[in-house]
Amino acid sequence: MSLRDRLKRVRESRSAGDGAVAGTAAYLAGSMVSPPASGTQGFFDGWNVGGPVASRELAFPVDLPETFDLRPFRRKDDRFVPDEVPSDRLIFFDLETSGLSGGAGTVVFLAAFARWNRGILSVRQHFMRDYPAEGEFLSACIGEIGDDSVLVSYNGKSFDEPLLRTRCILNRMRPFRIPHADLLYAARRLWRWSLPDCSLATVERALGRERGPDIPGEFIPEAWFSYLRNGSDPRVGMVMSHNAEDVVSLAAIAASCADAFARPLLRKDIDLGGLGRKLVEYDAEAALPVLRAAFKSGSGAAAWPLYRLLAVSGANGEAAEVLAAMEPSFAALSLRSGRAERGNRDLGEALEFAGAALTFASTEKKRAMAERRIERIREKMLRQTCCNLHFRSHE
Amino acid sequence: MNSSSAITFIEKLLAEPDLAPSIVHVERIPAAEGRYADFPAGMDARLERALRSRGIERLYIHQRASWDAARAGRNVVVVTPTASGKTLCYNLPVVQSLLESPTARALYLFPTKALSQDQQSELNEVALGGELPLKICTYDGDTPTSLRVSARDTGRIVITNPDMLHSGILPNHAKWCRFFSDLAYIVVDEMHGYRGVFGSHVANVIRRLKRIAAFYGAKPVFILCSATIANPGELARGLIGEDVVEVRENGAPRAEKLVAFYNPPLVDPVQGIRKSSATESQKIAVRLLRGGIRTILFARSRLRVELIAGYINEELRNLYTDNERIVVEPYRSGLLPSERRAVERGLREGTVHGVVSTNALELGIDIGGLDASVITGFPGSFSSFWQQAGRAGRRSGASVVIYVASANPLDQFLAAHPEYFLGRGAETARIDPDNPYIYADHAKCAAFELPFSEGDSFGGDLEAVLAMLEEDGIVRKTGGRWFWSSGGYPGEKISLRSATADNVVIIDATAGRNAVIGEMDRPSAKELVFDDAVYIHRGRQYIVEKLDLENRVCRVSERDVNYYTDAVVKTDLKLLTEDASGETPSFGWSVGDVLVRTQAGKFKKIRFHTHENVGFGEIYLPPEEMQTRAAVARFGPGTTAGALLDGFDEAFKAAVVASAAGMVRDIAPIFLLCDPRDLGTVSRARDDHFSVPAMYFYDRYPGGTGLAEGLSTRFLDVFAAAADRLAGCNCRTGCPSCIGPDFADGRTIMEGSAVKSAAAAFLAALSGRGT
């Protein structure tokens, strides 16, 4: 059963009302975390409101492999991210903030951290009840981040993590430093072409997760300000569920991405070309069939990595086929010319491709390269003709 | 060319029969010996080596004085003319401290991006001999993202501008945590540029900077540098809010300098028409260049720069001698940065012999010293005249400044009264950091950057501003602190400058070419590169095919024509709201929003060389509009000032009101602590809105900065001061110190003295002292 099907079943079982998990009162029917009862402090139901930082715990069933392969998510600057970790060391996190543009005046007022263990995702949320509690709020957040864990987020490398770091600095707390895998980049590879955008909401919908009434992100800061001014705002309850929903989706997207990279050829919803281009960075063997399949189904993006892979592995015949089937470009035509010149010594063909490459040369440098190539081939042709004449004269 | 032969050549030139009669005055500024001090004890050996490798064996006294002050931990302001080794005044103490302490950092603040570029190359190549292990980074709008992180984390000297500090660095100070923790020096160069409203903004940005540095435990020392102004110490103290040591004694040697006043000869003595200052100054520049004299020619507009550079090159054109091997380049804004860098380098290295420039080269960009400076028309202030004059003159070798007067009445007055010109001191620079509008904006930015606590000091009336912000729900007070509690990013909406930032890119589309050849700010584009305009770029002529303002591109194609184009620009002002008003016995006043509309509706085609008008064209572009605040003084029939005006005919009334408005505009900055360029004025003998004579004074910053409100409460004082100034002026028919020389628009028919005495009576009536 594909992961997608499994997620679908999870959803069905939830709507049937038999998905409740022991130990948490707040886990409710449907995939939606409880929309708050309207009313003054209704949204604090289920929260521990003993101090200036309110907290609560929730749990959801989520399927993840026991060991999580992080390589699909690793980028060039992610040196600290290990190849793989036991899935119970992943920390899915998401922050709600008082502004969307960042800067020292933007605070985090709500955070969700989720850990997975044996099919259950335990979500812990912390809510800062007013500004002076920021120090305690941040301590609670940092307390969620163990030394040996790996953070997982959606766009968190550009937004959430730097912001949390800024808040720590401003509160004179030592900022944390642990590996961080951002799912956004992998998600873009998989769904860029098939989905209108790669926002968390769009991707989760494509994976079959449905939310009930939700608050759009741009209204979240105002909900928090209004809560501060008036002591309550019903929208804050929606923000809290929104935040919890986000980390659950995060885990679901992580599972779907991991599945896609583990068994790409079984998936129909993803862009094999994009996936193959990532895969080839760390597993050439696994990437080859993926790129082949992608290329066959018309993915232009797969052509070059496939060609390079074939050329390096010595599969010259297939490499030439790929090259021949490529969109004409300066690079492709130059290579074909080169192959004709050296490989099968068909100088006429080499000249033809070099001439075609010249028409695609968009810069001075490329033009010069093409012209040099043409000249060289012409010289070779001239020499060959001379040789032939020479031989003939001795006949 | 050595000193004596240069002076001989110049003297010979000035004595030539076609020039001599037009030279109305020559002022000799004598040479001065250099005054030196030894290298300070304890100077790092590497630094000393770097200096010696540049041929520097000792310091000028002002360099040494600023070293002593800065190294003792005292703030210092150095006032030095161009080419007096200014940069070493700050580079030496900063580099020494950075070499001593491997973590210390310095922030250099320059008014413009071009200057930071220049400074970085100077620091890298020249000052440090490329050997000192200090990483120097420029951080501005052009810095690629990839380099920003390394500038923040590892740059020992970071070079930026006030705008970037305001909207990029301070709001994100946590990213600069290490930099601020180790900040030892803040260098403020070209300090004289930070005056008026812009200076008041910068003073507040510096308040914020100091507050953030203090948060990270740093107490940086300020080193400020300024061109000559009347009050450098006062301005420095105002900008940084701390005491400073003033270093005013310049130790750099100076060769003899001649300042010649040249008034182009009359071609029509009856009508008083003179030869064009553009052609005359070009003629003089060509002779200087042919004599081997490296020359800079200053012209007042970009168009004139291109015209004059073109004429000079045409004059020198000679295929066989390769233009006599003299290279002359135009220099102005709108050229590509790479083109500008190339000209600067050419001037420094001597491969470019002459340059025609707008005031863009007045600022401290390093181009080495030139032998002659030709100034076409008074540049607007005495400070900038002397800055332009300072471009001529190296440490040895005599130099000459030739001021060529234009037909403008102010120029004609100055040419007729060189003693007045030479007797004027430098202008006073004023700022008002506590201007409530500007202050409130920056208090807001500061609250975003760090919460304020009770008892915090931040200049100005902090509590009042915070109370207002709290009322508006922008900050939240809780637990004795004010927290930013709004979604916005305040720095984004607050601009330190009045000019808009959006630029139009000029694309050469000749025969399928598609190359960017320059860029220009939008308001200028409407006046210079409208459809069918002739755009001259480094001597090449282009016709504008299409100015596409929406997409901010202007497509031009190369074409040889025998004319250039000049837009006819009209400025109009309309009162939108009247928010406050009052009546006094002598006048009434109002404050409100106004729309200032500038429109180029027509253009003239003007033939090269002869400058005759060969045609007109229409410009179909929307007007440039700015909404701002204005204070209006109204002179209705029931007021004493109105009654006085009633006795005059319309034309005379208009002249009197305009003269008085000009006086008020010149005096008001003293009361408002702003710069004359911050205020605009329009006067009317019969206002469209109020139907009585009126003067408008509007704020040149979009939206207003409180100048109109400030003026409305002080009209009486300002009128009184203007009346005193006019009464105390000894001229007979008006001069630049009072109502202006007596030729201004439409007033030639009137007796200047009649206007002057009527204006004096009018101002006296306004201030309630009249009869």
| Predicted-complex ipTM score | 0.78
| Chain B residue at shortest CA distance from A166 | B174
**Among A190, A246, A188, A175, residue whose Cα is nearest residue A215:** A246
Tell me whether A219 touches chain B (CB under 8 Å): no
Asked whether residue B454 is domain-assigned, the answer is: yes
Q: Which residue has the tokens 């103490």?
A: B93
Question: How many angstroms separate the CA atoms of B545 and B542, rounded?
Answer: 9
In whole angstroms, how far apart are CA B312 and each of A393, B246, B346?
68, 43, 18
pLDDT at A34: 44
Residues B270, B384: one domain? yes
Structure tokens at B331: 């220099």
Do residue A105 and residue B479 have CB atoms under 8 angstroms apart?
A: no
Residues B678, B578: one domain? yes
Residues B325, B279: one domain? yes
Do residue B487 and residue A229 have CB atoms under 8 angstroms apart?
A: no
pLDDT at B745: 46
Which residue of B453, B484, B493, B494 to mutate against A (max A Cβ within 10 Å)? Answer: B484
| Domain covering A3-266 assigned CATH 3.30.420 in the classification | yes
SS3 A108: strand
**Among B418, B379, B407, residue whose Cα is nearest residue B258:** B418
Which residue of B450, B486, B494 to mutate against A (max A Cβ within 10 Å)? Answer: B486
Asked whether residue B144 is domain-assigned, the answer is: yes
Looking from the CA of B368 toward its CB, the CA atoms found within 13 Å total 19
Instruction: Answer left, alpha or beta for residue B613, where phi above 0 means left and psi between -120 and 50 means alpha.
Output: beta
Query: Structural domain tally of chain B?
Result: 5
DSSP B207-232: HHHHHHHHHTT--PEEEEEE-S-S-H
Residues B741, B758: one domain? yes
DSSP state of B122: I
Question: How many angstroms separate the CA atoms of B438 and B207, rounded?
Answer: 12
For A2, other C-beta atoms within 10 Å of its C-beta total: 15
Question: How many angstroms separate the CA atoms of B59 and B66, rounded?
Answer: 11
pLDDT band at B122 (very low <50, low <70, confident <90, very high): low
CA-CA-CA-CA dihedral for B639, B642, B643, B645, to nearest 10: 160
Residues B587, B487: one domain? no
Structure tokens at B666: 């010149």
Q: What's the whole-number mean pLDDT along residues B619-647?
A: 91
Residues B189, B293: one domain? no
Residues B465, B523: one domain? no
Structure tokens at B494: 């607050």
CATH number for the segment(s) A272-394: 1.25.40.10
Which residue of A76, A98, A101, A131 to mutate against B (max B Cβ within 10 Å)? Answer: A131
Residues B68, B202: one domain? yes
SS3 B543: strand
Distance from CA of B348 to the nearest CA of A (A): 31
Instruction: Output b/e per residue, B570-597; b: 16+ Cβ within 10 A.
Output: eeebebeeeeeeeebebbbbbbbbbbbb
Do residue A170 and residue B485 have CB atoms under 8 angstroms apart?
A: no
Do residue B448 and residue A166 have CB atoms under 8 angstroms apart?
A: no
Asked whether residue B605 is domain-assigned, the answer is: no
Residues B522, B581: one domain? no
Asked whether residue B583 is domain-assigned, the answer is: yes
**Among B692, B500, B518, residue whose Cα is nearest residue B598:** B500
Indicate which CATH number applies to the domain containing B296: 3.40.50.300
pLDDT band at B53 (very low <50, low <70, confident <90, very high): confident
Structure tokens at B135: 């990483």
Q: Where are the domains of chain A?
A: 3-266, 272-394
| Chain A residue at shortest CA distance from B168 | A103
Residues B8, B56: one domain? no
Q: Residue A225: its chain B contacts at CB < 8 A?
A: 473, 485-487
Asked whether residue B606 is domain-assigned, the answer is: no
Q: Which domain holds residue B267?
A: 3-25+254-423
Q: What tens digit of pLDDT does each residue of A116-131 get?
A: 999 999 999 999 999 9
Residue % of chain B over a pLDDT of 70: 93
Phi, psi of B336 (to 5 degrees): -70, 150
The whole-model pTM stands at: 0.83
Asked whether residue B431 is domain-assigned, the answer is: no
Asked whether residue B279 is domain-assigned, the answer is: yes
* Residues facing B402 on adjacent strands: B260, B374
DSSP state of A131: G
Q: Are B48 and B39 in contact (CB under 8 A)?
A: yes
Question: How many angstroms separate the CA atoms of A237 and B730, rounded?
Answer: 77
Q: What's the whole-number mean pLDDT along residues B190-212?
A: 94
Question: Which residues of B526-668 form beta strands (DSSP E)?
Answer: 534-537, 540-548, 553-558, 563-575, 580-583, 588-607, 613-618, 624-634
Structure tokens at A263: 């068994």
Q: Please report the sign of the dihedral spanned by the C-alpha atoms of residue A153, residue A159, residue A165, residue A168.
A: negative
Residues B18, B48: one domain? no
Angle formed at CA A96 by CA A95 and CA A100, multiple of 5 degrees: 110
Asked whether residue B31 is domain-assigned, the answer is: no
Phi, psi of B687 (to 5 degrees): -75, 140
Q: What tens digit of pLDDT does each residue of A142-190 get?
A: 999 988 899 999 999 999 999 999 999 999 998 788 899 999 999 999 9
**Among B589, B590, B563, residue whose Cα is nearest residue B576:** B590
Q: What tens digit of pLDDT does each residue of B314-349 get?
A: 888 876 666 677 889 999 888 887 788 888 888 888
Q: Are B633 and B589 in contact (CB under 8 A)?
A: yes
Structure tokens at B93: 């103490």
Q: What tens digit of pLDDT does each residue of B428-462 get?
A: 888 889 988 889 999 999 999 999 999 999 988 89
Structure tokens at B350: 């001597």
pLDDT band at B394 (very low <50, low <70, confident <90, very high): low
CA-CA-CA-CA dihedral for A265, A271, A274, A280, to nearest 10: 0
